[in-house]
Amino acid sequence: MSAEQAGAGVALRRRRRSPLGSRWTPYIFLLPAAAYIFLFQAIPLVQEIYLSFTRTNLLNPTRSVWVGLENYEKIFASAGFQQTLLTTLGYVIACVVGAVGSGLGVALLLNGRFPGRGIARALVTVPWAAPGIATALIATWMLNAQYGIITRVLRAIGVDVGESGILDNPDLALVAILATTIWQLFPFVAVVLLSALQSVPAELTEAAEMDGANRWWSFRVVTWQVIKPTVGLVALLMTIWSLRRFELIWLMTRGGPLGTTRTLVIDLYSQAFDSKQLGNAAAIGMVGIVIALIVVVGSSLVSRAAERGA
Amino acid sequence: MRRVRIGVVGRMIGVLVVLGIAVFPIYWMFTTALSSDADLFAAQPRLVPDFGQFGVFVDALADGPTLTWLRNSTIVAVGTTALSIVLGIPLAYALSRFSFRGKVAVGLLLLMTQMLPEALMVVPLFSLYRRFELLDSLVGLVLANTAFVLPIVALVLKGAIDGVPRELEEAARVDGSRPLTVLLRINVPIIAPAIAAAAVIAFFHAWNEYVFAVTFIFNKALQPASVGLAGFVGEQGTAIQTIMAVAFMFTLPAVAFYLFAQKYVVSGMTAGAVKG
Confidence bin at A15 (pLDDT 50/70/90) = very low
What pLDDT was estimated at residue B276?
Answer: 31
What pLDDT was estimated at residue B262?
Answer: 73
Partners of B251 on chain A (C-beta within 8 Å) are 130-131, 134
**E strands, A213-262, in order:** none
Nearest CB partner across the interface for A246, out of B14, B117, B254? B117
Regarding whether B117 and B229 lie in a shared domain, the answer is yes
Which helix (DSSP H) or strand (DSSP E) does residue A66 occupy?
Answer: strand A60-66
Residues A21-40 have a mean pLDDT of: 86
3-state helix, strand, coil in chain B (%, to 5): 80, 0, 20
Regarding whether B69 and B26 lie in a shared domain, the answer is no
Confidence bin at A109 (pLDDT 50/70/90) = very high
What pLDDT was estimated at residue A262?
Answer: 96
**Structural domain containing residue B86:** 64-275
What pLDDT was estimated at residue A2?
Answer: 45
Nearest CB partner across the interface for B98, out of A20, A139, A192? A20
For chain A, percent of residues with pLDDT exceeding 90? 51
Nearest to A223 by CA among A191, A196, A192, A189: A196
Confidence bin at A223 (pLDDT 50/70/90) = confident
Regarding whether B53 and B74 lie in a shared domain, the answer is no
Do A29 and B94 count as a contact with CB atoms less than 8 A apart? yes
Query: How many whole angstroms separate alpha carbon A227 and alpha carbon A219?
Result: 10
Model confidence at A84: pLDDT above 90: yes
Partners of A152 on chain B (C-beta within 8 Å) are 45
Do A29 and B93 count as a contact with CB atoms less than 8 A apart? yes
Q: How many Å lie between the alpha carbon of A169 and the closest alpha carbon of chain B?
A: 16
Q: State residue A211 phi and psi, 5-degree precision.
A: -70, 5
Partners of B147 on chain A (C-beta within 8 Å) are 36-37, 40-41
Do B122 and A42 count as a contact with CB atoms less than 8 A apart? no
What pLDDT was estimated at residue B167?
Answer: 84
Do A48 and B123 count as a contact with CB atoms less than 8 A apart? yes
Residue type at B11 in one-letter notation: R
What pLDDT was estimated at residue B146?
Answer: 95
Regarding whether B40 and B163 lie in a shared domain, the answer is no
3-state helix, strand, coil in chain A (%, to 5): 75, 5, 25
Confidence bin at B275 (pLDDT 50/70/90) = very low
Q: What burial class does residue A86 get, using C-beta atoms within 10 Å of its C-beta: 0-12 exposed, 13-18 middle, 19+ buried?
A: exposed
User: B101's torsion region: left (phi>0), alpha (psi -120 to 50) or beta?
Assistant: beta
Regarding whether B69 and B33 lie in a shared domain, the answer is no
Select the more confidently predicted residue: A262 or B65. A262
The overall longest dimension of chain B from CA atoms, in Å, is 77
What pLDDT was estimated at residue B3?
Answer: 52
What pLDDT was estimated at residue B269?
Answer: 62
What pLDDT was estimated at residue B194?
Answer: 86
Do B215 and A30 count as a contact with CB atoms less than 8 A apart? no
Q: How many Å lie between the alpha carbon of B240 and the closest alpha carbon of chain A?
A: 8
Rg (CA), chain B: 23
Q: How many Å lie between the alpha carbon of A86 and the closest alpha carbon of chain B?
A: 19
For chains A and B, count residue pairs whose Cβ atoms are closer than 8 Å.
263
Mean pLDDT over each residue of chain B, to the nearest integer: 86
Residue A236's closest chain B neighbor by CA? B273
Regarding whether B151 and B34 lie in a shared domain, the answer is no
Regarding whether B258 and B140 lie in a shared domain, the answer is yes
Nearest CB partner across the interface for B94, out of A30, A129, A137? A30
Nearest CB partner across the interface for B208, out of A21, A120, A132? A132
Confidence bin at B183 (pLDDT 50/70/90) = confident
Model confidence at B129: pLDDT above 80: yes
Do B173 and A34 count as a contact with CB atoms less than 8 A apart? no
Task: Write out the residue limits of the CATH 1.10.3720.10 domain(s) in chain A.
Answer: 73-309
Model confidence at B271: pLDDT above 70: no
Lowest mean pLDDT among A41-45, A221-225, B172-176: B172-176
Regarding whether B75 and B50 lie in a shared domain, the answer is no
Residues B264-275 have a mean pLDDT of: 59
Given B10, B32, B57, which residue is the final one in a domain?
B57
Confidence bin at A93 (pLDDT 50/70/90) = very high
Regarding whether B144 and B114 lie in a shared domain, the answer is yes
pLDDT (tens digit per residue) in B132-180:
899 999 999 999 999 999 988 998 898 888 888 888 888 777 777 788 8
Residue type at A29 in one-letter notation: F
Q: Which of B13, B16, B18 to mutate to test the interface with A (most CBs of A within 10 A)?
A: B18
Lowest mean pLDDT among A254-268, B159-173, B255-269: B255-269
Confidence bin at A21 (pLDDT 50/70/90) = low
Query: How many whole angstroms separate alpha carbon B69 and alpha carbon B138?
Result: 12
Nearest CB partner across the interface for B125, out of A44, A51, A285? A44
Say yes or no: B176 contacts chain A, CB-CB below 8 A. yes
Task: Give chain B's domain count.
Answer: 2
Query: How many whole angstroms separate alpha carbon B226 and alpha carbon B231?
Result: 9
pLDDT (tens digit per residue) in A173-199:
999 999 999 999 999 999 889 888 888
Model confidence at A4: pLDDT above 80: no
> CB-based contacts of A266: which residues, under 8 Å, 6+ apart?
A246, A249, A250, A254, A255
Residue B212's closest chain A neighbor by CA? A247
Say yes or no: B159 contacts chain A, CB-CB below 8 A. no
Q: How many Å lie between the alpha carbon of B53 and the closest alpha carbon of chain A?
A: 19
Q: What letters, b where the CB count within 10 A reaches 16 and e where it falls short, cover A184-201?
A: bbbbbbbbbbbbbbeebe
Regarding whether B237 and B206 lie in a shared domain, the answer is yes
Given B57, B86, B102, which residue is the final one in a domain?
B57
Confidence bin at A5 (pLDDT 50/70/90) = very low
Residues A151-157 have a mean pLDDT of: 92
What pLDDT was estimated at residue A235?
Answer: 92
Query: How many whole angstroms separate alpha carbon A48 and alpha carbon A278?
Result: 9
Regarding whether B70 and B51 lie in a shared domain, the answer is no
Q: How many Å lie between the alpha carbon of B184 and the closest alpha carbon of chain A?
A: 12
Confidence bin at A7 (pLDDT 50/70/90) = very low
Mean pLDDT over each residue of chain A, to the nearest integer: 87
Residue B274's closest chain A neighbor by CA? A233
Residue B25's closest chain A neighbor by CA? A138
Say yes or no: B128 contacts chain A, CB-CB below 8 A. yes
Regarding whether B218 and B110 lie in a shared domain, the answer is yes
pTM of the prediction?
0.88
Q: How many Å lie between the alpha carbon of A84 and the closest alpha carbon of chain B?
A: 16
User: What CATH number does residue B135 fall under?
Assistant: 1.10.3720.10
Nearest CB partner across the interface for B247, out of A26, A106, A138? A138
Query: How many whole angstroms separate alpha carbon A247 and alpha carbon A219?
Result: 38
Nearest CB partner across the interface for A233, out of B26, B150, B273? B273
What pLDDT was estimated at residue A16?
Answer: 43
Residues A160-184 have a mean pLDDT of: 92
Rg (CA), chain A: 26
Do B45 and A149 count as a contact with CB atoms less than 8 A apart? yes
Do A147 and B25 count as a contact with CB atoms less than 8 A apart? no
Q: How many Å lie between the alpha carbon of A238 and the closest alpha carbon of chain B?
A: 11
pLDDT (tens digit per residue) in B192-220:
888 988 898 899 899 999 999 999 999 99
Model confidence at A120: pLDDT above 50: yes
Q: Under CATH, which number does the domain A73-309 receive?
A: 1.10.3720.10
Do A114 and B11 count as a contact with CB atoms less than 8 A apart? yes
Model confidence at A12: pLDDT above 90: no
Residue A179's closest chain B neighbor by CA? B21
Q: How many Å lie between the alpha carbon of B216 and the closest alpha carbon of chain A?
A: 12
What pLDDT was estimated at residue B273?
Answer: 47
Confidence bin at B268 (pLDDT 50/70/90) = low
Residues A106-122 have a mean pLDDT of: 88
pLDDT (tens digit per residue) in B16-39:
999 999 999 999 999 999 998 888
DSSP assignment, residue B52?
Answer: G
What pLDDT was estimated at residue B135?
Answer: 93
